[in-house]
Amino acid sequence: MLLRRIELTDVRSYDHVSLDLEAGVTLLVGRNAQGKTNLLEAVHRLATGSSHRVAGDAPLVRAGCELGVIRCRLETDDGRERRVELELASGTRRTRTRVDGQQVRRAADALGVLRVVLFAPEDTAIVRGEPSERRRFLDDLLAQRRPAYAAARADYDRALRQRNQLLRDARAGRLPAGGTFTTALEVWTEQVVAAGAQLIAARVAAVRTLAPPTDRFYRELADRPEPVGLVYRSTAGAATATSGADDARVPDPSAIVAGLRDGFVARAEEERARGLTLVGPHRDELELSIGALPARGYASHGEVWSLALALKLATDVLLAEVGDRPVVLLDDVFAELDEVRRERLATACRGFDQVLVTAAVEADVPLAGSRVEVTLDAGVTRLRPREPGPTGVEGAA
Amino acid sequence: MYEGAVQDLIDELGRLPGIGPKSAQRIAFHLLQTDPTEARRLADAITRVKATMRFCVQCHNVSQAEHCRICLDPRRDDTLLCVVEEPRDVVAIERTREFRGRYHVLGGAISPIDGIGPDQLHIRELVLRLDAEPVAEVILATNPNVEGEATASYLSRLLATLEVRATRLASGLPVGGDLDYADEVTLGRAFSGRRDVGI
Ligand SMILES: [Zn+2]
C-alpha cells in the first residue's frame, strides 16, 4: 500500500498543506517543535482511529478553529485508489468519516483502509509500562489487521462490563440471591468466555507470528545482540503460553474456552468477594524478556528502546499476512542510534514499501529518498518538498 | 429561557429519547411557525395513541384492544412462539412473511448496567403462557448483540428446565446489529435455518 497524498486543514500547527508522496523513503526534516510529529499523528489517527499522543479528537483541531480536516489518498497493491477523510470537531460533535467520498455509518468502517505502523518515542511504554500497554499494543495491531477483531473486542468489553456490574450488584446485596443470580452469572460468564476466547486465540497467534521477526530486529538494533522472548501469559491457563514458532500457529479455541471456564470456577469466591471479573483477556499479560531477564524493570534505556522499535517493525509481517503491507512511520528514531545501528535500521527501512521518517538532523538518516523541509512560521507549519540534490546524504548509504 | 408555552414545549420535547436541548428548540420553533392544522394533526396523533393504544395482555405487543390482532387471529399456529425484545421486532419479522406462529414481547433484554434483570422483563408471563398454551417450540429471536445473546441464553436454560424445545435464529444477521436493521431476506433465511439451543 502506498500513501499518495496527505492534506491537512486546521490540524494542530497546520492551517492548510498538501503533500504528495512517492514509494520508498520520505524524510521530513526540521528542528524540534516545528510540526513534524503532528503530520505523522494525523496520518496515524486516520488509519487507526486514535492519536498516539492524546485521547479524543478535539486536541487535534488547530487552536481557535471549529473543525479540522485530515484527507489521505492511497493506492492499494492491486492498483485501486482509495480516499479517507476525517472532519474533526473541536467541540463535542462527533468526527465525521468519509471513505471514498461516502460517509460511513460507523467510524470503525474506516479503520484499516489505510494501514500504518508508527514508531514514536512514546512507544517505549510498550516495554516498560503496565501490562495494559502491551495488551493495547496487541489489540490495536489485531484490529488494524482485521476489523472483525475490533468487533469481537467491543463485544468482550460490553460483556465484561455487564458481568462486573452483576458481581458488584451481588456484593452490594442488590440482587435476589440463589438461583436467579447463579443463572444470570452463568449467562454472562458464557458471553465473556465466547468473546474472550476469540481475543485470546488471535493474540496468541499474533505473538507467535511476532516472536521471530522481533528477535531478528532486536539483534540488529541493540548494543548486545541477546535473544528476545515473547510469552503470552493467559488467565485461561498454560495452554496458551507460547514463546517459539514451533507451536501450532493458531491455538485450539476449545482449549482456551475450557481454560477460561476452569479459571472462573477456581476464582469464583474471589470474584464474588471483590465484585470483579478476574479471568479473561483483560487480565492477560504479554511478557517480554531480553536474554534471561524480564524486559520490564531490568532492561536499560537503550534496550527498552531497541525492543520497542523491534516489536513495531515486526508488526509489518503480521499485517502483511492479510491484505496490503502497511506504510511505516518513524518519528524521531534515528537520533537515538549510533552510526552502525542507523545503517541497520536504514537497511530494514529499504525493505518496506513506503516509509515516512522525521528527523531534526538530516545527516542522521542514511537513506536516499525525497526530502521535505518542515518549518514553523508565525505559529503555522510550512512544508517545502526539496529535490534530492548533491547536498543530500545519499552518499552515506 | 423563552416565554410561557414555547419553553414548556421545549422542556417536553427535551424529555423525549434521542432529542437534545438544541433539537428540542428547533422542533419547538418549527411547530410555532407551522400551519395550525399540521400542528393539530401531531397533537391529535399523540392524544389518540395514548387514548386508544395499549399493550396486549397476552403477548405485550402494542395493541388497540386487550388482545392484539395477532393473538386473536385463529389462523396462527399455536404451537410456535417467537420471543422478541421489542414491538418493532414483531414488525420486522412480520414483514418477512416467514413466520405464522405467535409472539411474546419481553420488553427489552437482560442488562445489569441498565438495572434490567429477568424480573424486569415479561419472563414470568412467558412461563405462564407455556403452561396455558399448546406451545411445542419457542423461537428465541432476541437481538444478535451481547445483551440479546445473554437473554436468549438465560431463556434457553429456563426452557430446558420446563422441557420446552427452544431454537435460536440462525446467524447471518449483522454482527452487533439490531433485528430491526436486518434486511428482510436475511431475517427470512434466519427463520428457516434456526437451530436447537438445548442445554
Ligand atoms: Zn398479543
Q: Under an 8 A CB cutoff, do B154 and A151 touch?
A: no
Its ipTM equals 0.79
How much is the average pLDDT of A184-192?
A: 94
pLDDT digits (tens, 9 = 90+) for A323-346: 899 999 999 999 988 898 899 899
Q: In terms of pTM, does the model score above 0.80?
A: yes
pLDDT for A361 equals: 94
Taking only the tens place, the pLDDT of each residue in A248-304 is: 567 777 889 999 999 999 999 999 999 999 999 999 999 999 999 999 989 998 899
* Closest Cβ–Cβ partner in B146, B154, B158 for A162: B146
Percentage with pLDDT > 90 across chain A:
72
- Please state which of the ranges A168-182, A216-230, A362-376, B60-74 shows the lowest mean pLDDT: A168-182
- Length reported for chain A: 397
Listed residue (A356, A358, A333, A355) closest to A35, CA to CA: A358
As a whole number, mean pLDDT of residues B171-177 equals: 48
Tracing cell 488547530 back to the chain, one arrives at: A62
pLDDT computed for residue A91 by the predictor = 84
- Distance, first Cα to last Cα, chain B: 58
Judge whether residue B192 has pLDDT over 90.
Answer: no
Confidence tier at B169 by pLDDT (50, 70, 90): confident
Nearest residue on chain A to B144, alpha-carbon basis:
A155
Does residue A151 sit at the B interface (CB-CB below 8 Å)?
Answer: yes
Nearest Cα to Cα of residue A198 among A281, A294, A322, A120: A281
Is the domain B60-196 a CATH 3.90.79.10 member?
Answer: no
Single-letter code of the amino acid located at A68: G
Cβ–Cβ gap A162/B112 under 8 Å: yes
CA distance B5 to B8: 5
Angle at A388 between CA A386 and CA A392, to 5 degrees: 105
- Comparison of pLDDT for B172 and A317, the residue scoring more: A317
Q: Which residues contact B161 (CB under 8 A, 6 or more apart)?
A: none
CB spacing of B150 vs A187 below 8 angstroms: yes
CATH code of domain B4-52: 1.10.8.420
Contact B146 A175 (CB under 8 A): no
Contacts of B175 in chain A (CB under 8 A): 148, 151
What is the Cα gyration radius of chain B?
20
Give the distance (Å) from ligand 1 centre to CA of residue A205: 50
Task: Tell me how far the alpha carbon of residue B169 lies from the centroid of ligand 1, in angstroms.
Answer: 21
Which residues in chain A have Cβ-Cβ distances shorter than 8 Å to B146? Answer: 155, 158-159, 162, 191, 195
Residues A302/A226, Cβ–Cβ less than 8 Å? no
Distance B97 CA to ligand 1 centre (A): 17
Average pLDDT, whole number, for chain B?
88
Distance from CA of B94 to the nearest CA of A (A): 26
CB B110 to CB A184 under 8 A?
Answer: yes
Nearest chain B residue (CA) to A147: B175
| Contacts A–B by Cβ distance under 8 A | 53
Instruction: Count other C-beta atoms under 10 Å from residue B3's C-beta.
Output: 6
Residue A89 pLDDT > 60: yes
* Chain B CB within 8 Å of residue A188 CB: yes
Q: With contacts defined as CB-CB under 8 Å, which chain B residues touch A148?
A: 175
Q: Are B18 and B31 in contact (CB under 8 A)?
A: no
pLDDT of residue A111: 83
Cα distance between residue A233 and residue A286, in whole Å = 6
Would an 8 Å CB–CB cutoff place B198 in contact with chain A?
no
A contacts of B109 (beta carbons < 8 Å): none
Dihedral (C-alpha) A248, A253, A254, A256: value to the nearest 10 degrees?
90
Q: Whose CA is closest to A329, among A52, A30, A33?
A: A52
How close A159 comes to chain B (CA, Å)?
6
Round to whole Å and give the CA distance between A196 and A188. 12
Domains of chain A as residue ranges with CATH = 1-115+325-397 (3.40.50.300), 124-323 (1.20.1050.90)
A391 by Cβ neighbours in 10 Å (0-12 / 13-18 / 19+) ranks as exposed
Instruction: Show which of residues 14-43 on chain A sit within 8 Å of chain B, judged by CB atoms.
Output: none
Largest CA distance in chain A: 81
CA atoms within 13 A on the CB side of A39: 34
Interface contact A180-B117, CB threshold 8 A: yes
Instruction: State the Cα–Cα distance between residues B18 and A126, nearest whole angstrom.
Output: 40
Do the domains B60-196 and B4-52 match in fold? no
> Average model confidence (pLDDT) for chain A?
90
State phi, psi for B27 to the nearest 5 degrees. Answer: -65, -40
Q: How many angstroms is it from B69 CA to the middle of ligand 1?
A: 7
Q: Is B153 on the interface with A (CB under 8 A)?
A: yes
Q: Domain locations in chain B?
A: 4-52, 60-196
